[in-house]
């Protein structure tokens, strides 16, 4: 008999997840979500949540953006806890939850409680999501429950500010956000690379404190290129967080539907980077 202490998957489903890479090309997002410049797809989060938790357990995303992790938690029967700095994204996440799931309650930082009114699927009390507006670096100030799994995608340093002028111009013309915010608490606004990595590590050491022993952490991130130089953000996070958690291994998320650009053509090797690292750690 297959005894499974980690999740509710069958042995066959478990083995499928062990492949070290996967391809996922998310469908175009609805307008309200598209406003946010860098989301991860619910399918991706759901798959990781199903692997790293059992039904009814609690999942934290300390930089939850438009709430993808919270929606994935509801649809997989887990309790989601999300923190997000930008009130605009908190409002979008809150609206998405309320519209999709009847009875979903979102508790905001200021104590306001919003109740969903749609005719959607109902959410039982035990897995009602908690959405908090605030700075992830101060997550110890929130009274968080014990966390069974944490999955998040942080800002990829200040890359939104360095991105190709063409993409930014197109987004601006369409009335979409080009950066997360101008807030100086926003990690995406830290210009010095080393300081950015330090601040991120500070967030995850606070996450470590609220996680139960044996719980996993997944960080979705990329190495970044800026002005012709490579900053190995994913590898630096692997190394630095490996000093707090036990570093397990990565799953590589490949996006096969992106258009190739002729960077450095005829002159130098410059890749089109269409993969992200889903880095896995464990509190041991």
Ligand X SMILES: C[S@@+](CC[C@H](N)C(=O)[O-])C[C@H]1O[C@@H](n2cnc3c(N)ncnc32)[C@H](O)[C@@H]1O
Contact residues toward ligand X (CB under 6 A) are: 36, 38-40, 63, 65-66, 68, 83-86, 89, 135-137, 153-155, 180-181, 185-188
Report, in Å, the least distance between residue 62 CB and ligand X: 6
Q: Compute the distance between CA of residue 88 and CA of residue 39 in angstroms, rounded to an integer.
A: 14
Of 14 and 185, CB closest to ligand X: 185
Report, in Å, the least distance between residue 125 CB and ligand X: 25
What are the angstrom distances between the C-alpha of 30 and each of 39, 104, 171? 12, 20, 14
Taking CB atoms, the residue at the shortest distance from ligand X is 65
Residue partners of 259: CB distance under 8 A and separation at least 6: none
Of 57 and 69, CB closest to ligand X: 69
Strand-pair partners of 279: 219, 250
Report, in Å, the least distance between residue 188 CB and ligand X: 5
Nearest to 21 by CA among 231, 245, 225, 275: 275
Of 9 and 95, CB closest to ligand X: 95
Report, in Å, the least distance between residue 81 CB and ligand X: 13
Of 9 and 171, CB closest to ligand X: 171
Report, in Å, the least distance between residue 179 CB and ligand X: 9
Of 68 and 106, CB closest to ligand X: 68
Report, in Å, the least distance between residue 88 CB and ligand X: 9
Residue partners of 233: CB distance under 8 A and separation at least 6: 156, 157, 197, 221, 222, 223, 224
Burial level of 115, CB count in 10 A (0-12/13-18/19+)? exposed
Of 7 and 153, CB closest to ligand X: 153
């Amino acid at each position: 008999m297959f005894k499974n202490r980690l999740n509710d998957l069958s042995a066959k489903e478990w083995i499928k997840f062990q492949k070290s890479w996967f391809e996922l090309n998310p469908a175009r997002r609805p307008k309200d979500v598209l406003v946010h410049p860098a989301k991860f797809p619910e399918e991706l989060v759901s798959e990781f949540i199903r692997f790293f938790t059992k039904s009814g357990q609690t999942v934290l995303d300390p930089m939850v953006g438009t709430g993808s992790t919270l929606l994935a938690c509801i649809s997989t029967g887990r309790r989601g806890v999300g923190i997000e700095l930008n009130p605009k994204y908190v409002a979008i996440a809150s609206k998405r939850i309320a519209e999709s799931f009847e009875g979903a309650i979102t508790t905001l930082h200021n104590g306001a409680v919003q109740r969903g009114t749609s005719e959607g699927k109902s959410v039982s009390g035990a897995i009602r999501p908690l959405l908090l507006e605030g700075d992830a670096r101060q997550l110890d100030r929130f009274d968080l429950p014990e966390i069974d799994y944490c999955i998040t995608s942080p800002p990829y340093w200040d890359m939104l500010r360095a991105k190709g002028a063409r993409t930014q111009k197109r987004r601006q013309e369409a009335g979409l956000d080009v950066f997360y915010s101008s807030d100086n608490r926003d990690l995406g606004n830290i210009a010095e690379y080393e300081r950015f990595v330090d601040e991120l590590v500070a967030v995850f050491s606070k996450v470590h404190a609220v996680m139960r022993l044996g719980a996993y952490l997944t960080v979705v991130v990329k190495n970044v290129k800026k002005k012709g130089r490579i900053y190995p953000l994913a590898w630096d996070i692997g190394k630095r967080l490996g000093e707090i958690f036990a570093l397990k291994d990565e799953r590589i998320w490949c996006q096969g539907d992106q258009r190739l650009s002729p960077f450095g053509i005829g002159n130098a090797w410059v890749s089109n980077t269409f993969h992200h690292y889903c880095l896995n750690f464990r509190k041991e």
